[in-house]
Amino acid sequence: MSKPVRVLVAGLGNMGRSHALAYHNNPGFEIVGLVNRSKPVLAPELGSYTIHPDFTTALKELKPDLCSICTYSDSHADYAVMAFEAGCDVFIEKPLATTVADAERVVAAARKAGKKLVVGYILRHHPSWIRLITEARKLGGPYVFRMNLNQQSSGPTWMTHKSLMETTPPIVDCGVHYVDVMCQITDAKAVEVRGMGLRLSNEIADDMYNYGHLQVLYEDGSLGWYRSRLGADDLGNRLLREGRHVAQWFGFHRHGSECQVRRHRHAYEDGRHSRSQGRNRCGRKIRAQGRRPEDGWRAGTSGTLRSRAGLCAESHHRKHQSRTTHGRCRPVAAHLPCRG
């Protein structure tokens, strides 16, 4: 029987703790140490391991076979290069690095050392996403990809998101997963990338944004569109502090300093579209099927029907869109929870 792989885990946030537990429970691995600047609360199973405050020192003293790098993105490249130079294989959480130059530096170090480099693209191993990619490829291109990740947060989760955004914007944080999925489906080379971001909170740096769009154009004519958001805007954070969910509000846009906020709940209860107060045919159809509108319908600048696998088919409200995207408006979608 071969000896277990001796692993050093760097970073004890959500993903780092998950990886450490997996190594602890897998007889093929032996944790030689954990690295974190502070001493977080860990699962009882991890209590016996020493937490080292400095990665460089731990790497030299413990001499692991494998480094599992789960720190914030700005340290990924430096830690990975140090691990390769010390003769280790490397597992690294996404994204590989924060710049193209750093990503290329990591790859070059892996090749020079002749060691393995694995990036944490977990969707490549998830049964639902494997099936999605397989079925999508049967359709044939060109494809249009539309993916949306709206992570509203408050309290401790918002603090985590703010820490993340000190180095990594939301369209990069999880966008790397979905662009990877797009690339697996189309097999075409990306030829153009476009992006935009909006800072919706005064609690993050002036040069950071917590709401963004990403578009990728492919050589075969396919188009990928991804939208991501972390936390809430300042109004949303105030509502959350007051114990009210952002989803209780339909929409929010600014005219100079004036804020217009409209509630949607009463309109959905009697089948009217809360923006125009006109009849909502989709709402009536959903209720006729014995479902509640919030089971599959999300209100905002576009309505979204979601399957249990999280796949989206979106229908735009053109009338609403034409009224809210003129020069002075800044539409911000506030969605109902999806219970599919």
pLDDT at position 269, please?
A: 39
pLDDT at position 34, please?
A: 97
pTM: 0.67
Q: Which of 102-116, 198-212, 218-232, 284-298 has the highest mean pLDDT?
A: 102-116
The residues that bridge with 149 in the sheet, in sequence order, are 228
Confidence of residue 27 (pLDDT cuts 50, 70, 90): very high
Distance between alpha carbon 181 and the CA centroid of its chain, in Å?
13
Higher pLDDT, 278 or 14: 14
Closest by CA to 136, choosing from 216, 219, 213, 222, is 222
Terminal Cα-to-Cα distance of the chain (whole angstroms): 46
Instruction: Return the domain boundaries, the chain.
Output: 5-120, 124-230, 245-333
The CATH label, of 3.30.1550.10, 3.40.50.720, 3.30.1360.120, 1.10.274.50, for the domain at 5-120 is 3.40.50.720
CA angle 97, 98, 99 (to 5 degrees): 95
Cα dihedral value 246, 150, 17, 28, nearest 10: 150
The residues that bridge with 161 in the sheet, in sequence order, are none
Q: What average pLDDT does the chain have?
A: 76
The DSSP secondary-structure symbol of 328 reads: T
DSSP 256-290: TTEEEEEE-HHHHHTTB-TTT-SB-HHHHHHHHTT
Query: How far is residue 72's CA from residue 13's CA, in Å, rounded to a whole number?
Result: 9
Query: How far is residue 292's CA from residue 278's CA, in Å, rounded to a whole number?
Result: 19
pLDDT at position 260, please?
A: 32
Confidence of residue 307 (pLDDT cuts 50, 70, 90): very low
99 and 169 in contact (C-beta within 8 Å)? no
Confidence of residue 29 (pLDDT cuts 50, 70, 90): very high
Q: Which homologous superfamily does the CATH classification assign to the domain defined by 124-230?
A: Dihydrodipicolinate Reductase; domain 2 (3.30.360.10)
If one counts every other C-beta atom within 10 angstroms of the C-beta of residue 316, the result is 10
Phi, psi of 286 (to 5 degrees): -60, -45
Furthest-apart CA pair in the chain: how many Å? Answer: 71
251 and 332 in contact (C-beta within 8 Å)? yes
77 and 68 in contact (C-beta within 8 Å)? no
pLDDT at position 155, please?
A: 85
Higher pLDDT, 9 or 285: 9
How many percent of the chain have pLDDT more than 90? Answer: 52
Instruction: Answer whether residue 338 shows pLDDT above 50.
Output: no
Q: Which residue in this structure is represented by tokens 């005219």? A: 255
Closest by CA to 10, choosing from 32, 26, 27, is 32
DSSP 129-170: HHHHHHHHHHH-SS-EEEEEEEE---HHHHHHHHHHTTT--H
Beta strands in the chain (DSSP E): 5-10, 29-35, 51-52, 66-69, 89-92, 117-119, 144-151, 190-198, 211-218, 223-230, 249-255, 258-263, 297-298, 302-306, 312-316, 332-333
Instruction: Answer whether residue 187 shows pLDDT above 70.
Output: yes
Q: What is the mean pLDDT of residues 191-210?
A: 91
Model pLDDT for residues 40-94, shown as the tens digit of each residue = 889 999 999 999 999 999 999 999 999 999 999 999 999 999 999 999 999 999 9
